[in-house]
């Protein structure tokens, strides 16, 4: 379990992102969206994810960055390959992670969800350390935000089908849900 204080994980590495805003008034936080990201794709070293979420990415560094040059995005959390937890946006604020999206009959998933990025690709396996951190983080979130149910913990691909495929085939939902049920 991780301790939370005023919307921040106390043991997370904090790198504040400017890419957030207030959630709509009287909106319950009742979902978790799991994503995957690596920058450049397939590279798990360096700080380009941090720079991307902070609008400081050197877009001339890699040809792929031309595709994301004009984006202003963030997530609440990132779990690195070694299990390190990084927080960019206060959980009580609206991070810009989901884009056009729908969960059930609710659109604009950024309004009511927490976005968790796993460092990886849509077809890579994820590390044991990442599953362990994700389990502890989500267990803490379920206590902190009692409106979140396990049925509302979904992948980016679930809320933006046809547009997004992450966390991808490498994420073992069954294994991870078993871990979460044991905690």
C-alpha–C-alpha distance, residues 55 and 24, integer Å: 24
Cβ-in-10-Å burial (0-12, 13-18, 19+) of 77 comes to buried
Structural contact between residues 110 and 95, judged by C-beta atoms closer than 8 angstroms: yes
Active site residue 127: no
User: Active site residue: 25, 67, 117, 119, which one?
Assistant: 117
DSSP, res 78: E
Structural contact between residues 7 and 90, judged by C-beta atoms closer than 8 angstroms: yes
Residue with tokens 């009692």: 146
DSSP, res 43: -
Closest residue by Cα to residue 37 from 119, 160, 94: 119
C-alpha–C-alpha distance, residues 48 and 80, integer Å: 12
β-strand partners of 114 = 32
Maximum distance among all alpha carbons in the chain?
A: 45
**Catalytic residue positions, numbered:** 117
């Amino acid at each position: 379990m991780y301790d939370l204080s005023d919307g921040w994980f106390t043991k997370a590495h904090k790198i504040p992102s400017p890419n957030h805003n207030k959630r709509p008034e009287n909106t319950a936080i009742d979902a978790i969206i799991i994503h995957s990201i690596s920058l450049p794709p397939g590279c798990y070293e360096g700080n380009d994810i941090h720079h991307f979420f902070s609008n400081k990415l050197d877009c001339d560094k890699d040809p792929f960055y031309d595709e994301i040059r004009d984006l202003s995005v963030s997530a609440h959390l990132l779990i690195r390959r070694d299990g390190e937890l990084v927080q960019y946006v206060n959980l009580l604020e609206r991070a810009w992670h989901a884009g056009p999206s729908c969960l059930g009959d609710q659109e604009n998933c950024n309004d009511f969800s927490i976005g968790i990025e796993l460092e990886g690709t849509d077809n890579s396996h994820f590390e044991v350390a990442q599953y362990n951190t994700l389990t502890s983080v989500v267990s803490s979130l379920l206590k902190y935000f009692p409106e979140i149910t396990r049925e509302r913990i979904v992948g980016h691909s679930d809320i933006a089908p046809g547009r997004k495929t992450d966390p991808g085939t490498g994420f073992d939902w069954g294994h991870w849900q078993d871990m979460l049920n044991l905690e």
